[in-house]
Amino acid sequence: MYNILLSESINEDKLQEYASSLLEKLEDPNILSIKKSNRSIIVRVDKLDNLEEIYKKLSESVGEEYTFEGKDTGVVHLRKKNELGKVSIYFRQKLNSKNVVILKNIIAFLLTNKSTDTLKDRLNLNQDATDTDIMDTISEKHESIYDIAVFAKKLIKDKIPNISDVKISNTKADLIIEDEDGNKYGINIKASPKSVVSGNSMSLGFGNEEESLIHNSVPWYEEARKLFISKVKRTSKMKGQPTLRKLIKAKQENPQIYKQVLNTINATIRKTFLTKLRRLNPSKLASFVNDYRMGNEEERNGYKSFFRLTYDRRGVTLDRIGKGKLDREKIKTTGLTPSKVVKEVEGNIKIDIPNSQPLVIRSIGISNFLTDDKELLKVKTK
């Protein structure tokens, strides 16, 4: 019996190495990460409903002596014919921005037993849906997110006793929790590795504000509109004053020009932002990183404690984040200047300050320069 178990264990170790190697060689864009765990493999993918291509590539990659089972369940079991043992490959979807919204609303629901209109909307339920309807939909369509929320609830209640209220927020704190004594706690939710700080969207304003990190003589949306008008006039018969209504119609008629202008303006904004960051003194750069990571000092000081709830391939964790600023003196003595600390890595802007988690900004720009919504006209980072 012992020899049988030993043989099975050895075979499973070999299968795990073999399967991991196959997955890495696929270089499929849908695969985000691959992790070996307890003779199984966790594969984080961009979309769970797009696994057929991965299954097909895997089937074509293995030799005839191997078999696959369970392709319709999000789990693949790989075996070698005529040998004991198997390795299970679990496919799990990453949390995108929509799922994070669902997650924080489910956590609030579990902590308070009160549903929100936003949760019902994201679950495609009517506003008169009952708690039973909500739980049934979550179990059916968002089982993995529910599992995260259940674990998060336990972690939160261990850190924050006597919870009296939970609010959904769009500040640095996705959840604002209040205890029976009136103390407030902020919880920021991330679906990225803890080694990289990828903050929520930060508004940098219109660009013409004093001391702006994207300074321009006029708001960037006005710059974009001016460029759009000049390009459209070459190809259309726009007459009279170019009102916003006319510009929106021109956008519908010239979508490629609109997209080209948006990309051009956002590229200029990015260049301006990078240049400004690299010219900041270490103290101001440290303040920027702190504000980006946890909101401004006023917001941070409004909480008794500030936490980051992280979900990544290592599981769910809840870490307390200090409210203090980065050690500016230590930054100065490292000999690293902002021009060396602010980098461009794989299309991202990375601020890698010594003795601090790197801050990664994935994009910066205007999302729509032809709208009357002032908030949407602001330049934001992601």
How many structural domains is the chain composed of? 3
Amino acid letter for position 215 = H
Q: Are residues 257 and 216 in the same domain?
A: yes
What is the structure's pLDDT at 245?
87
Give the domain-ending residue among 155, 190, 225: 190
Please give the pLDDT value at position 75.
77
- Give the pLDDT score at 1: 41
Alpha-carbon distance of 55 to 43, in angstroms, equals 12
Radius of gyration, CA atoms only, the chain: 25
Asked if residue 309 is part of any domain, the answer here is no
In terms of domains, do 111 and 249 share one?
no
Same domain, 71 and 101: no
Structural domain includes residue 11:
yes
Token reading at 63: 């030799």
In eight-state DSSP terms, residue 326 is P
Structure tokens at 105: 């609303």
Using pLDDT thresholds of 50, 70 and 90, give the confidence band for residue 72: low
Q: What is the pLDDT of residue 95?
A: 59
Residue 115 lies in a domain: yes
If asked whether residues 369 and 261 sit together in one domain, one would say yes
* Segment 45-64 mean pLDDT: 75
**326, pLDDT greater than 60:** no
Q: Which of 60, 93, 126 is the endpoint of a domain?
A: 93
Instruction: Work out the angle at residue 326's Cα, subtended by the Cα atoms of residues 345 and 335, and round it to the nearest 5 degrees.
Output: 65
Measured distance CA(282)–CA(351) in Å, rounded: 11
User: Band of the pLDDT at 27, cuts 50, 70, 90?
Assistant: confident
Residue 301 located in a structural domain: no
Which of 143-147, 276-280, 295-299 is the most confident on average?
276-280
Measured between alpha carbons, how far is 119 from 152 in angstroms, rounded to an integer?
17
E strand residue ranges, the chain:
31-37, 40-45, 66-69, 75-80, 87-93, 163-168, 175-179, 184-190, 202-203, 305-312, 315-321, 342-345, 348-351, 359-361, 364-365, 380-381
Q: How confident is the model at residue 58 (pLDDT cuts 50, 70, 90)?
A: confident
Whole-number pLDDT of residue 195: 37
* pLDDT at residue 333 tops 50: no
Q: Is residue 70 scored above 90 in pLDDT?
A: no
Confidence of residue 156 (pLDDT cuts 50, 70, 90): very high
Q: 360 is written with which tokens?
A: 């990664």
Would the pLDDT of 259 be above 80? yes
Asked whether residue 83 is assigned to any structural domain, the reply reads yes
Question: Do 134 and 252 share a structural domain?
Answer: no
CA distance 158 to 177: 13
Residues 75 and 109 in one domain: no
Q: Is residue 377 part of a domain?
A: yes
| pLDDT computed for residue 379 by the predictor | 92
pLDDT for the residue numbered 61 = 76
- Same domain assignment for residues 69 and 102: no
What does the pLDDT average to over 169-188? 86
197, pLDDT greater than 50: no
At residue 221, the pLDDT reads 95
Tell me the pLDDT band of 318, cut-offs 50, 70 and 90.
confident
Would you state the torsion angle of the CA atoms of residues 191, 193, 198, 200, taken in this order, to the nearest 10 degrees?
20
Report the predicted TM-score, pTM, of the whole model to 2 decimal places: 0.52
217 and 176 part of one domain: no
Q: How far apart are CA 151 and CA 166, in angstroms?
A: 17
User: Is pLDDT at 77 greater than 60 in this prediction?
Assistant: yes
Average pLDDT over residues 123-134: 85
168 and 242 inside one domain? no
Q: Closest Cα to residue 123, out of 99, 153, 152, 149?
A: 99
Specify if 88 maps to a domain. yes
> In this structure, are 12 and 26 located in the same domain?
yes
Q: What is the mean pLDDT of the chain?
A: 79
- Do 208 and 136 lie in one domain? The reply is no
Question: Which range of residues forms the domain containing residue 103?
Answer: 97-190
The winner for highest mean pLDDT among 84-93, 100-109, 255-264, 371-380 is 255-264
Name residues whose C-beta falls within 8 Å of residue 285's C-beta, 6 or more positions apart in sequence.
Answer: 277, 331, 338, 341, 342, 351, 353
pLDDT at 241: 78
Which is nearest to 31 in space by CA: 82, 92, 74? Answer: 92
- Considering 197-206, 306-315, 341-350, the range whose residues carry the highest mean pLDDT is 341-350
Q: Do 215 and 362 belong together in one domain? A: yes
**Segment 123-133 mean pLDDT:** 85
First to last CA, the chain: 56
pLDDT at res. 174:
85
